[in-house]
């Protein structure tokens, strides 16, 4: 008894306790809901059976039904486009800004801090503001493009099926760029300066230094950022709610918004869960990348 | 000893008095009410007034947000914690009544001296009806009509006292009123991909003989073609597809649209914001003399079947109904009743508009009622958007919607 107690206060028991606590936390708050969601996707659920577990199992019916719907393919493609374009935009602009601010000109850190404002703003607020900016008749963006002579007629960003998804992507890039920039800045400052000095002495130009030192040294940071970006864009919901509501005609609909629409607008909870399961698979892939690219940090 | 005896007697006397008092308070029944009404809206105020009457029924109020009404109610009902009374949006009513979640009030209404079905507009009454029985009482109602800018009518040579009567006249007027140079569209309405789109579209389909259960009929196709014409010719902003009614009518108030289709909830803001003379007209019909129709909005009262005090809950509803004549004066809402004459507000524009809305209400039709209304509505929204974005013809889009709706209707 005494030994066990001693081990809990100082010893192996203590270590195990430390591990078990967060594990239990994770299991209750993430694991169980996840399993519940998967189970739900194989059941017939309506709002009145929402409170019970005893619901009829229907096998893969929800999945089959889902994939036989005409809007499923375009929505999956939209999601792929949204995720890849958002990540590409956020990453490239964020990297550019990080490099720019790493030049350490006067006020650089101040300005860098200011950029974080966009990340601090709640998504719904950002969505509402971009909703105005992208408005067809009186939007600021159209006004700007018209005055600079880039376009002749107004572009109806939110209502033209050719542009609606891009409208949300633009807003999302704006929202996520600063987060990318900060993480990349941290990565940049971790690269030892003497590497650059040595390369410079050897006659490497700026481009060569970037491709042979900066990029390889940043590999794990970049991997982590892209994995995080994938997770963040896959859970980006507020902008869709704020700007296009997935319309017109699903042209800007993505899986995460669709799952919500099915569950809470059409009360088809089983299908909503089914989409979530499909998304979980993708997020898990991203998590694997994230964990792998940050693993060395743990080993120190 | 003697004193003690008297004291004992006194105690008994007191006890018997307080016992009767106690039994009264033991009978005090608590009824819980959920609705989305804020402090300036009917429910909390009526409940305060009711509690002051000391009827032996105590009412507790909880406000829920619009988006949460159905999900909260479902969750509460399925876990056995439902309130006694709830206010639900009328297209959602059938969902609950068809599943036995709401109490059948038919007998109580038949016996009631306050609630009389013949006093109600047919539309709201139909929305609480399921299988020939009444599962609720209409709380308030609203509908849509055509707002038009009289000053712009004059400026473009149209008669401000003759708003468009037919669909052709509407398109004709919109063409004349549209002025891209001045940033003015002829018409503002909402074809958004949510319930608002369905709410705005169904009246047009119904006027032409269509309806949610015959959405690909000739009339409904014609109605969608009408919308398509309006959008294709840029008589309304392309953002009509993604803008709700409130924002669309905002462009009317700011003078960027000459006509708007919306409901009485716009009146107060319009009086404040619109710096021009405006009027309200009935929704134009396909041809003179054709059947009129309009949308019907707003909430219904219902009692959950799980209540332990159905009689008391119904008494509370009777009180609400007895106060219906205050609805417009105190809370700016239209009672769902045809027997109440709404007193003038003293604001001429508002009074004139009210008259039109009351006339329009006679033709208001509920959406459904059907327990799976959201799915039906979604099919209609998808069809509207597919046709208006030019991805399908009106006929193709509505055929597809009809297919989906048929699957729901079974």
- Chain B CB within 8 Å of residue A72 CB: no
- Chain A CB within 8 Å of residue B254 CB: no
Question: Which of A48, A244, A247 is the closest to B99 by Cβ?
Answer: A48
Residues B389 and B329 occupy one common structural domain: no
**What is the overall mean pLDDT for chain A?**
87
Min distance A215 CA to chain B CA atoms (Å)? 43
Question: Which of B74, B192, B237 is the closest to A247 by Cβ?
Answer: B192
Q: Are strands B278-281 and B145-149 parallel, antiparallel or unpaired?
A: antiparallel
Q: Give mean pLDDT, residues A121-130.
A: 89
Residues B270 and B182 occupy one common structural domain: yes
ipTM, interface predicted TM-score of the complex:
0.76
Min distance A141 CA to chain B CA atoms (Å)? 15
pLDDT in tens, chain B (410 residues): 455 555 555 555 555 444 444 444 556 899 999 999 988 889 999 999 999 998 999 999 999 988 788 888 888 888 889 999 999 999 999 989 998 899 999 999 999 999 999 999 998 999 999 999 999 999 999 999 999 999 999 999 999 999 999 999 999 999 999 999 999 999 999 999 888 999 999 999 999 999 999 999 999 999 999 999 999 999 999 999 988 899 999 999 999 999 999 999 898 889 999 999 999 999 999 999 889 999 999 999 999 999 999 999 999 999 999 999 888 878 878 999 989 888 887 888 988 999 999 999 999 999 988 988 989 999 999 999 999 999 899 999 999 999 999 998 98
- Chain A CB within 8 Å of residue B10 CB: no
Q: Give mean pLDDT, residues A128-133.
A: 92
Query: Which residues 174-203 of A have a C-beta within 8 angstroms of B?
Result: none
| Inter-chain touch A137–B183, beta carbons under 8 Å | yes
The answer to whether position B290 is within a domain reads: yes
The answer to whether position B17 is within a domain reads: no
- Chain A CB within 8 Å of residue B71 CB: yes
The answer to whether position B8 is within a domain reads: no
- What is the model's pLDDT at position A296? 66
Q: Are strands B257-262 and B278-281 parallel, antiparallel or unpaired?
A: unpaired
| Inter-chain touch A50–B389, beta carbons under 8 Å | no
The architecture that CATH gives domain A70-299 is Orthogonal Bundle (1.10)
The answer to whether position B77 is within a domain reads: yes
Give the DSSP letter string of A225-288.
HHHHHHHHHHT--HHHHHHTTT-STTTT--HHHHHHIIIIIS--HHHHHHHHHHHHHHHHHHHH
Q: Nearest residue on chain B to A269, judged by CA atoms? A: B71
- Chain B CB within 8 Å of residue A135 CB: yes
User: What does the DSSP 8-state code read for residue A48?
Assistant: G
- Backbone phi, then psi, for B337, in 5-degree steps? -120, 145
Residues B81 and B229 occupy one common structural domain: no
Q: Nearest residue on chain B to A268, judged by CA atoms? A: B375
Residues B393 and B352 occupy one common structural domain: no
Which residues of chain A have a CB within 8 Å of the CB of B389?
160-161, 248-249, 251
Mutation for testing the A interface, residue in B69, B241, B251, B372 having most A CBs under 10 Å: B241
Min distance A175 CA to chain B CA atoms (Å)? 22
Q: Which residues lie across from B295 on neighbouring strands?
A: B365
As a residue count, chain A comes to 300
- Chain B CB within 8 Å of residue A33 CB: no
CATH of the domain at B101: 3.40.190.10
Answer whether A244's CB lies under 8 Å from A168's CB: yes
- What is the model's pLDDT at position B148? 97
- Chain A CB within 8 Å of residue B65 CB: no
Residues B166 and B111 occupy one common structural domain: no
* Residues A136-189: tens digit of each pLDDT: 888 899 999 988 988 888 889 988 899 999 999 999 999 999 999 999 998 998
Residues B62 and B176 occupy one common structural domain: no
Residues B157 and B136 occupy one common structural domain: no
User: What does the DSSP 8-state code read for residue A43?
Assistant: B
Choose between B309 and A295: higher pLDDT.
B309
Min distance B321 CA to chain A CA atoms (Å)? 29
Report how far residue B332's alpha carbon sits from residue B272's, in angstroms, rounded to the nearest whole number. Answer: 15
Answer whether B252's CB lies under 8 Å from B243's CB: no
> How many structural domains are present in chain B?
2
Measured from the Cβ of residue A72, the count of other Cβ atoms closer than 10 Å reads 17
Query: What is the residue range of B189's domain?
Result: 145-295+372-409
Q: For chains A and B, what is the number of CB pairs under 8 angstroms?
A: 88
Min distance A256 CA to chain B CA atoms (Å)? 17
The SS3 assignment for A17 reads helix
Q: Which two tokens stand for residue A136?
A: 């067809």
Kindly list the domain boundaries of chain A, sorted by start residue.
70-299
Residues B257 and B157 occupy one common structural domain: yes
Residues B195 and B334 occupy one common structural domain: no
| Inter-chain touch B391–A161, beta carbons under 8 Å | yes
Where b means 16+ CB within 10 Å and e means fewer, A1-26 reads eeeeeeeeeeeeeeeeeeeeeeeeee
Residues B33 and B50 occupy one common structural domain: yes
- Chain B CB within 8 Å of residue A104 CB: no
Which residues of chain B have a CB within 8 Å of the CB of A136?
237-239
Which residues of chain B have a CB within 8 Å of the CB of A245?
192-194, 242
Report how far residue B58's alpha carbon sits from residue B30's, in angstroms, rounded to the nearest whole number. Answer: 5
- What is the model's pLDDT at position B74? 84
The SS3 assignment for A94 reads helix
| Inter-chain touch B242–A159, beta carbons under 8 Å | yes
Entry pTM = 0.82
Query: Percentage of chain A with pLDDT > 90?
Result: 36
Banded model confidence at residue A255, pLDDT cuts 50, 70, 90: very high
- Chain B CB within 8 Å of residue A142 CB: no
Banded model confidence at residue A297, pLDDT cuts 50, 70, 90: low
- Chain A CB within 8 Å of residue B81 CB: no
The answer to whether position B133 is within a domain reads: yes
Decide if pLDDT at A299 tops 50. no
| Inter-chain touch B70–A161, beta carbons under 8 Å | no
| Inter-chain touch A249–B239, beta carbons under 8 Å | no
Q: Which two tokens stand for residue A35?
A: 């399993």
| Inter-chain touch A159–B183, beta carbons under 8 Å | no
- Chain B CB within 8 Å of residue A252 CB: no
| Inter-chain touch B192–A268, beta carbons under 8 Å | no
Banded model confidence at residue A300, pLDDT cuts 50, 70, 90: very low
Decide if pLDDT at A294 tops 90. no
* Residues A41-90: tens digit of each pLDDT: 998 887 777 767 778 888 899 999 899 888 899 999 999 999 999 999 99
Answer whether A14's CB lies under 8 Å from A7's CB: yes
| Inter-chain touch A159–B99, beta carbons under 8 Å | no
Measured from the Cβ of residue B179, the count of other Cβ atoms closer than 10 Å reads 14
Residues B184 and B248 occupy one common structural domain: yes
| Inter-chain touch A161–B256, beta carbons under 8 Å | no
* Alpha helices per DSSP H over chain A: 2-9, 12-26, 32-40, 61-68, 72-101, 108-115, 117-120, 123-133, 140-147, 164-189, 193-201, 206-209, 215-217, 219-234, 238-243, 255-260, 269-299
Which residues of chain B have a CB within 8 Å of the CB of A242?
none
- Chain B CB within 8 Å of residue A164 CB: yes
Where b means 16+ CB within 10 Å and e means fewer, B253-283 reads bebbbbbbbbbbbbbeebeeebeeebbbbbb
| Inter-chain touch B386–A249, beta carbons under 8 Å | yes
Report how far residue B263's alpha carbon sits from residue B222's, in angstroms, rounded to the nearest whole number. Answer: 23
């Amino acid at each position: 008894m005494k030994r066990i107690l001693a081990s809990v206060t100082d010893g192996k028991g203590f270590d195990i306790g430390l591990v078990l606590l967060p594990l239990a936390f994770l299991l209750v708050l993430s694991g169980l809901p996840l399993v519940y969601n998967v189970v739900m996707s194989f059941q017939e659920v309506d709002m009145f059976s929402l409170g019970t577990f005893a619901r009829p199992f229907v096998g893969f019916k929800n999945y089959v039904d889902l994939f036989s719907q005409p809007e499923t393919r375009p929505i999956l493609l939209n999601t792929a486009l949204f995720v890849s374009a958002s990540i590409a935009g956020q990453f490239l602009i964020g990297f550019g800004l990080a490099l720019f601010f790493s030049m350490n000109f006067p006020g650089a850190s101040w300005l860098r801090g200011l950029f974080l404002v966009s990340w601090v703003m709640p998504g719904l607020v950002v969505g509402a503001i971009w909703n105005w900016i992208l408005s067809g008749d009186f939007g600021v963006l159209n006004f700007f493009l018209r005055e600079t002579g880039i376009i002749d007629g107004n572009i109806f960003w939110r209502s033209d099926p050719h542009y609606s998804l891009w409208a949300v992507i633009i807003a999302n890039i704006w929202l996520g760029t600063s987060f990318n920039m900060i993480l990349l800045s941290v990565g940049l400052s971790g690269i030892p300066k003497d590497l650059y000095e040595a390369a410079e002495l050897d006659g490497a130009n700026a481009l060569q230094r970037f491709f042979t030192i900066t990029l390889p040294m940043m590999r794990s940071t970049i991997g982590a950022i892209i994995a995080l970006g994938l997770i963040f864009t896959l859970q980006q919901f507020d902008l869709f709610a704020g700007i296009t509501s997935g319309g017109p005609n699903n042209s800007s609909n993505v899986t995460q918004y669709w799952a919500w629409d099915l569950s809470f607008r059409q009360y088809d909870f089983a299908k909503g869960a089914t989409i979530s399961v499909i998304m979980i698979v993708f997020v898990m892939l991203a998590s694997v990348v994230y964990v792998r690219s940050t693993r060395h940090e743990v080993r120190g | 000893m003697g004193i003690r005896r008297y004291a004992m007697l006194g105690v008994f006397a007191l006890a018997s008095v307080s016992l009767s008092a106690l039994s009264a308070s033991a009978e005090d029944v608590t009824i819980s009410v959920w609705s989305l009404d804020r402090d300036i809206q009917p429910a909390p105020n009526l409940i305060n007034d009711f509690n002051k009457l000391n009827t032996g029924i105590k009412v507790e109020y909880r406000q829920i947000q619009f988006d949460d009404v159905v999900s909260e109610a479902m969750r509460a009902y399925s876990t056995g914690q439902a309130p006694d009374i709830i206010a639900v949006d009328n297209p959602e009513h059938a969902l609950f009544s068809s599943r036995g979640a709401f109490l059948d009030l038919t007998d109580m209404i038949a016996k009631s001296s306050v609630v009389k079905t013949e006093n109600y507009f047919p539309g709201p009454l139909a929305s609480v009806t399921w299988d020939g029985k009444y599962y609720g009482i209409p709380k308030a109602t609203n509908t849509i009509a055509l707002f038009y800018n009289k000053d712009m009518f004059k400026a473009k040579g149209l008669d401000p006292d003759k708003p468009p009567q037919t669909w052709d006249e509407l398109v004709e007027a919109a063409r004349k009123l549209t002025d891209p140079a001045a940033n003015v569209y002829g018409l503002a309405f909402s074809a958004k991909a949510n319930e608002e789109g369905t709410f705005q579209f169904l009246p047009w389909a119904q006027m032409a003989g269509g309806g949610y259960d015959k959405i690909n009929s000739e009339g409904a196709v014609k109605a969608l073609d009408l919308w398509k014409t309006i959008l294709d010719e840029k008589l309304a902003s392309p953002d009509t597809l993604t803008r709700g009614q409130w924002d669309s009518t905002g462009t009317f108030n700011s003078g960027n649209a000459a006509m708007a289709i919306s409901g009485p909830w716009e009146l107060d803001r319009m009086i404040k914001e619109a710096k021009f003379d405006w009027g309200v007209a009935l929704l134009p019909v396909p041809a003179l003399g054709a059947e009129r129709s309009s949308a019907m909005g707003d909430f219904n009262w219902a009692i959950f079947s799980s209540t332990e005090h159905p009689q008391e809950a119904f008494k509370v509803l009777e009180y609400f109904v007895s106060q219906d004549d205050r609805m417009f004066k105190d809370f700016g809402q239209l009672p769902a009743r045809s027997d109440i004459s709404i007193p003038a507000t003293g604001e001429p524009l508002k009074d004139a508009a009210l008259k039109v809305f009351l006339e329009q209400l006679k033709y208001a039709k509920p959406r459904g009622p059907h327990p799976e209304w959201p799915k039906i509505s979604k099919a209609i929204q998808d069809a509207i958007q597919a046709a208006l974005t030019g991805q399908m013809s009106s006929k193709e889009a509505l055929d597809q919607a009809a297919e989906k709706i048929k699957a729901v209707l079974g």
